[in-house]
Structure 1
């Protein structure tokens, strides 16, 4: 009886260890889904290090500090910069670790004028490569309907218009300062390759690209995994979950260990009890040591290889040529997320029909030859 009780206790302890290990390894203690969306026009998944905070989820382990997303009443995702306020999220590229933002009312000059600049202080972000700060001066001028430098979203009427020009450069005849009244100045981020350096005025609408260094989840996303905190980690240590095609997942291993290990342990206990009973009857004077060996062969799946598309399949995706005026299918989508260069007039784009994302032909053709998914949303061809 003592032997039976000993092995029964061992079985209970092993079950507790297996259950505890399985539940701990299966997630990172975040009750929110791996990906989420505000449900509005921006349908791309919002995933770690970003997380939607105001949709009934207050678990801070679902996102990295400083990457909180709030959905407004129009189901638009907003990113808060402590020193500059809330900005509309236009796009997120987790592999390149870049987020594209703009003003909610599509008037970035107003934000810069009222705040006297654009600040990333106390945030985990910095300007993306290629962006620089330029100091602009804002003027209240007499209304000139033919002037190309007036900012429409700042208001124009029969009495006045607002213009913003580089403080370090004269207007070059485009603005008669004698008929203008200085309002304020502001430090604005502009892309160094944009026309703003040669044409020293500020447009009404432009996106700003921000990048982050920490947390670094690029390798995890490149491998198709889901980035997150390690279970019960208190120092923001990261782990990569749900990696595809890497043998059994942790949940599957847990199921196998429960389905095979527990019946095996019960069988071993029954065998030991039977052998002990027989030895007590036949050899009461002798002690014996019983050893059993138990092996479980792990059957691993051969990883499936997701290959790219062939030439005819790629050519089925439609091409579009950017007009001379720079017109695009989606005016706010002006940057190829593969090469991170702005679309130029007469360039040829290719659209992935399943998700309506478009890229430079050379960029997306090279990608699709190696990967059969959209580089932005990971959708497979129909």
Structure 2
């Protein structure tokens, strides 16, 4: 849990990018050791909160600088170059600030944005096990007097152990959306709320230090002031999903860039294969080919992330069904490309480095494990389907948080 009293106030986008690059370099120094020992990055998350980078999305009227999505995506990409686990932690922080932006009352936005400016961190409690689909929530917010009570169990709650506020997605019994589905809301709960506990049981093979454990909710009382409608976000065109997805894509792009850079370092230390007939491994024509192919994938992914982020920004400036659809499709294309690049670069790393790069001591497998774990978050195969339909027939993609 963060204990920031006075977070730094960032005054411009250039400063934000410089701070992100500096923190990424610091985070990279012990990333391998943290992964190997599953040492949770409490100090690093504290530094992230103190830096002011958690407040980049606060609107100007509430004291923030409300950076462009393009800048925010680059911040995430830079942080992921340093340590993908740490970069993953603030993703839900920004996602649930978007819920407040779109559905919060003026008083709610004023209160929670002031928390963010002070360095407070938000984390998610969304996913559940045992339901028929990932978009179904058995957890319910039950009206009791003027407030609510919530019971439930949430999994994959990234960053919850570090957070000051837990955003819990839940169903509102007896209410439905225009399409007839159960209506949902988000309850913003203080980390210390009676009946709320967090279990550190995340055992993923990658992104080991995201603290994506379980949130247990046992008759937690929720003031009505802390409840924000969620379902109405998708009643009209929105960039809620495309912004969340472009930040995921930025994470994968950061992993791909970092993995390729590590592969280059390993190649410069490797012995050349005797059949190449060269003095240095970097002059092996077959390794040159591998490095070139990987570089094209990484550069393409990075460019598509920037293009997708610009589309999100364009849609935010002038939101229509068409602009929202373009933002979703462009973000989906970036996500597919970045997922592929992260897996390719983190695998080619070992071809470039040779046998010694597979040493457990070096722990270079963390690049592939982080990439493989993160790219499972939401399937690329469905993004390709929506891109194909849009390309062939102009079919507008569905509105949900994963596109």
TM-score, length of structure 1 as denominator length: 0.22
TM-score, length of structure 2 as denominator length: 0.21
Q: Larger % of helix: which?
A: 2
Q: Larger % of strand: which?
A: 1
Higher relative contact order (CA 8 A, sep 6+): 2
